[in-house]
Chain A
Amino acid sequence: MPIPTFTIDGVLPPYVGPDGPGGAAEDMSPYTVSALEVVASFALTDQRRAILRGWLSHRAALRGIGFDRGFQWLDGSFVENKDPQDLDVVTFLYRPAGINDRNELAGLMRANLNLFARHHVRATFHLDFFAADLDGTSETLVNVTRYWLGLFSHRRGDDLWKGMLQVRLEDTSDDMAALAALGPSPILTSAAGGANP
């Protein structure tokens, strides 16, 4: 499913196709897309490219500590026809192999607060980040999913029904392709230019 075009209101549609919201699963939000498709559609400005680099970097870091299975919902002004400050990401994660109970999970997260604490993640990666545990309590998963879906499926202020995207976490090559499509960071480029005038 390619990323749908914005509606007249500048948001992703909550569903596509002639059958309405009762159509095929892939015609309904959240639309499952690749990281490369996200970059191809939304890397429109320097600010957006910086956010996308932060997002891909955060995904790589999560994989680096073992959270390499799951998926993310992308929402907020980044997937609207606006100039965003960040990207809203709800991340549904399976626990890493070898993490057998809540104490080990808590220890791993505490040791990596730069990847899990919301204010750290916002400052470093330009993400409004929330993580949901796919190996946790079922009822909690349903409740937090309901909360974030309620928040993300309607535009704040006018309750306009809107769509979001879903990107899986497992495909490292997809992220590499997305990163390559973004091109080198302007900061790195300018640093390299300074060294070799």
Chain B
Amino acid sequence: MSTLRKLERDFVHADIAAVSALLEQLGDEDVMARLGLEARLEELQQTIAQLDPAKDGPTASAALFFGGRPVIGARGIESEFAGAAVTKFQDIVAKVLAHETGGLGQRGIVPNKGASTLHITNIVRGSFGFLMEEVRPQQQLMETPLKVAVDEATKLLDAFGEPDEEQFRSAVETIDQRVLGTAREFFDLMRQSGATLRLVAGETDRSFGAEAVARAAERATSTTVEDTDETLQGQLAGVLPDAHQFEFRAGPDRGTIRGKVDRALTTDQLTQFNRDWVNVDADARVHVKRILRNGAVVRESYTLLTLGKRDD
């Protein structure tokens, strides 16, 4: 229920701001209003203390509110649109979860899709939407992988509506091609249906008006991901074994590149890399992910796969 609790917290925070502003405006004459408003403020502060974010549940939860053409006030929503929008959001979450756990191939069935299942547990209005939650038979103590995936998917969709281009590019630096494809379908649906959207999960709360929907759809369409494995010649500058990060001097054309190290390499292996390979001519096998906007590369990220003796 963490999303509902966040919405409740937002409401109470707004109420506290309104009452505090009223109290500041009161003069000595306003004894009647002061008595009531001070008591009201105290009640609201007690309420907010009970809604402590630290007490939010560890399971996944997201609220999707829709407005615009498919919605009639708080009364109803076109069933075909609602079904498609919820399905596409669920699909993004499934792919993010598979991507995070390293199992999302370039095509084919999304692995372990059952683990990503969200249930519609409530209708939220204002205007009209759905609360989608992870339903677990047993109480959880730790954050579930699905909660992490839902929060991640929400942050990603949030980035598509972000007005600042640079922030958007940073957010999609490591996006998976299939996640991007489904995000494109999601925003295309919004745009073509004339819908607006508010998305709330974790600490993310983003409203997409018509302009933001159009921006998100355009970005999702014009962005592509290119994944390749390449061999680069150069010298290892060093690795951070625990952080799984590397720095490699790849010659004058590429310069020094930095990135993550493949999780298949152990911390011990990386410690050995620092002993054996620093400042030694080597071939680095790296996975290169390029994010392109309208065909031009805007971000390039590297994952070190292996290091070996240079083939001359």
Contact = CB atoms under 8 A, between A and B. Distances in A.
Interface of B is mostly: helix
A184 to B, nearest CB: 32
B195 to A, nearest CB: 18
B40 A105 contact: no
Interface string B12-46: 00010011001001111111110111011001000
A130 B28 CA distance: 18
A74 to B, nearest CB: 16
B125 A144 contact: no
B126 interface: yes
Contacts of B126: 157-160
B61 to A, nearest CB: 16
A140 B33 contact: yes
A159 B156 CA distance: 28
A59 B190 CA distance: 53
A102 B18 CA distance: 24
A118 B37 CA distance: 10
A137 B30 contact: yes
Given A109-B32, A157-B7, A158-B124, 20 more contacts: A105-B32, A109-B31, A118-B36, A118-B43, A130-B36, A130-B40, A131-B32, A131-B36, A132-B32, A132-B33, A137-B27, A137-B30, A139-B25, A140-B25, A140-B29, A143-B25, A144-B37, A147-B22, A157-B124, A158-B125
6 contacts: A117-B35, A118-B39, A118-B43, A136-B30, A137-B27, A143-B22
Interface of A: 9, 93, 102, 105-106, 109, 116-119, 129-133, 136-137, 139-140, 143-144, 147, 150-151, 156-160
